[in-house]
Amino acid sequence: MNWSEFFHMGGYAFEVWTCWGLTLAVLICFVIYPKRRNARIRSEILRQIHREQLDQKNDA
Amino acid sequence: MNPLKSIWNFLSSTYHRLGSPREFYTISQYTTPVFGFLFLALSLFGTYFGLFVAPADYQQGDSFRILFVHVPVAWMSLFVYVVMATAGAIGLIWRMKMAFVVTICSAPIGAAFTALALLTGSIWGKPIWGTYWVWDARLTSELILLFLYFGIMAVYYAFEERKTAEKATALLAVVGVVIVPIIHYSVEWWSSLHQGPTVFVEGGPKMPPEMLLPLAFMAVGFMFFYGYALFLSMQAKVLDNERKSRWVKEIVSDKTR
Amino acid sequence: MKNTLVLYFQREWQLMFRNTSSMIQPLVFFIIIALLFPFSLPAEGALLQKIGGGVIWVSAVLATMLSLESMFHSDYQDGTLEQMLIHPRSLPLAMLGKALAHWTSTGLVLTAFSPILCITFNIPNEQIWVLFSGLMLGTPSLSLIGAIGAALTVTLRRGGVLIAIVILPLYIPILIFGAGMLSQSAQGLEVASQLYALAAILMLSLTLTPFAIAGALRVTIN
């Protein structure tokens, strides 16, 4: 079996590859989005901690 | 010691440990990559067998290879709903914080699986049935399921106070679970264009093993993907919810974790 | 001391007769929606006869849904709902009484007027009875299930759209059986199984939804 035949999918290339591609795209989104959200929240919390430390120094 | 009792003790201690956001966060740091790895391994196996090894169907040609994403995704759309509603019920009955997080974080994943099942199904339907959409029982009930997911998400974002929103969402998920058996048995209730069940029927699956094997790999793989994506989004949610607490500050400022 | 169910049913009735517009509005809405369809379709008697049952069912669903928003609203505003929550009387029973009273002011009135609409759609007499019995069995479930959505959104300022999003998917099985009954009887087939299905849904709603309504109120009202 050669590759062009494989990608041709017996004439159903559009249907098969759209379905697999769509699924893959959605799965990737559900990995990337929470990871980025996690990183964003972590940086927000870090900034908050720094602010609190600065406040404590100023008070002292 | 009685083995049953020790198993029970182990289960109840894990349940109680997972019930605390902090314990969940520490445990999930180890389990989440394992889920991701299992998903990757199983789905790569399934893809290889499904796209390269399985022979073309004698009726549908190569277009049947959509089955290996369509069917697992459609199964998962129901499975996620059941998990979501069960977690909602646990949260409402035993006031468990983490159960609500499971419900809230499952909803978008379930909605995405449902939308994918509908999309891949209609793209597959075009060459086989000659139309993108037919108003048959299973398609229609999958569409209802999608709207149920949307309703559940809309309720969560409508409330300003998080605790009220969590409980309202869980309640709606439990109420909507009535629809899940209707979806499951709809194939028998209404006769339709859609092909009948071929895997879970009496006398074993009506599918050749070289098709069944990749399908099983993909189905189990998608289940691990759900666990992976759920834990990832639960971790972010827990950090967000508990950002004022001490343990979160400790974890965040500790660069090694 | 009177039974909680009877007490709340009677209370709702008294309130309803003090404010009759709450009874008339859904009915007018129902008739207007149903009569919009002939204007938007080709003027063919056969077509109207074919779709009439479905149109009437959709109008009934929309009219019920529109009346849901005000179901708990005045009780929430004047603090009656909070009193109900802390009162020792059974909350689910009270909610059952309230939902049934709501049905008598919307679903029952709509059902009573549906034969007149059927005549404007040229629906034959024997099918009018099919539609009538279907609405009679189906509309109480609409009120009962809808009350869950009304209870969930009572504290929200703009709950109307949310009720529609939450409740309409849950209405679809009732709509399928109710409207499906009519198309079956138009082909001369038996409609008993659909009637049984509607009755089963009604029994489930009667027994389960009061607890869900009470739970929803306890969740949203602190």
Q: Collect all residues of chain B within an 8 Å Cβ-Cβ radius of residue A22.
A: 116, 119-120
Range among A12-16, A50-54, B55-59 rated most confident: A50-54
Q: Collect all residues of chain A within an 8 Å Cβ-Cβ radius of residue B249.
A: 45, 49
pLDDT at A3 over 90: no
What residue numbers bound the domain in which C82 lies? 4-220
Domain residue ranges of chain B, discontinuous segments joined by +: 29-232
Interface test with C, best of B171, B183, B190 (most C CBs within 10 A): B171
B108: closest chain A residue by CA:
A30
What is the 3-class SS of B104-163, one letter each residue? HHHHHHHHHHHHHHHHHHHHHHHHHHCCCCCCCHHHHHHHHHHHHHHHHHHHHHHCCCHH
A51 touches chain B (CB under 8 A): no
A35 touches chain B (CB under 8 A): yes
Rounded to whole angstroms, what are the CA distances from C47 to A58, A59, B50?
81, 81, 48
Q: What confidence tens digit (pLDDT) does each residue in C9-55 have?
A: 888 888 888 877 778 889 999 999 998 988 888 877 788 888 888 89
pLDDT at B100 over 70: yes
Yes or no, beta carbons of B232 and A20 under 8 Å apart: no
Q: Are C143 and C106 in contact (CB under 8 A)?
A: yes
Q: How many domains does chain C divide into?
A: 1
Provide the number of CB pairs (under 8 Å) joining chain B to chain C: 54
Yes or no, beta carbons of A15 and B52 under 8 Å apart: no
Q: What confidence tens digit (pLDDT) does each residue in C121-157 have?
A: 888 888 899 999 999 999 999 999 999 999 999 988 8
C90 touches chain B (CB under 8 A): no
Q: What is the ipTM of this complex?
A: 0.89
A27 touches chain B (CB under 8 A): yes
- The nearest CA of chain A is from the CA of B127 a distance in Å of 8
Q: Collect all residues of chain A within an 8 Å Cβ-Cβ radius of residue B56.
A: 10
Q: What confidence tens digit (pLDDT) does each residue in C164-203 have?
A: 999 988 888 888 888 888 877 887 778 888 888 889 889 9
State the average pLDDT over residues B77-88.
93
Between chain A and chain C, are at least 3 CB pairs below 8 A? no
Residue B99 has what pLDDT?
93
Q: Are C5 and C96 in contact (CB under 8 A)?
A: yes
Mean pLDDT, chain A, integer: 88
Residues 153-172 on C with a CB inside 8 Å of B are 153, 155-156, 159, 162, 165-166, 168-170, 172
B94 touches chain C (CB under 8 A): no
Query: Rounded distance, CA C220 to CA C222, Å?
Result: 6
Choose among B144, B155, B174: nearest Cβ to C169. Answer: B144
DSSP 8-state assignment for residue C124: -
Yes or no, beta carbons of A38 and B236 under 8 Å apart: yes
A10 touches chain B (CB under 8 A): yes
Q: What confidence tens digit (pLDDT) does each residue in B182-228 have?
A: 555 543 455 443 455 566 555 556 677 778 888 999 999 999 999 99
Residue B180 has what pLDDT?
64
Compare B200 and B163 and report the one with higher pLDDT.
Answer: B163
Q: What confidence tens digit (pLDDT) does each residue in C48-100 have?
A: 888 888 899 999 999 999 889 888 888 898 888 888 888 878 889 989 999 99
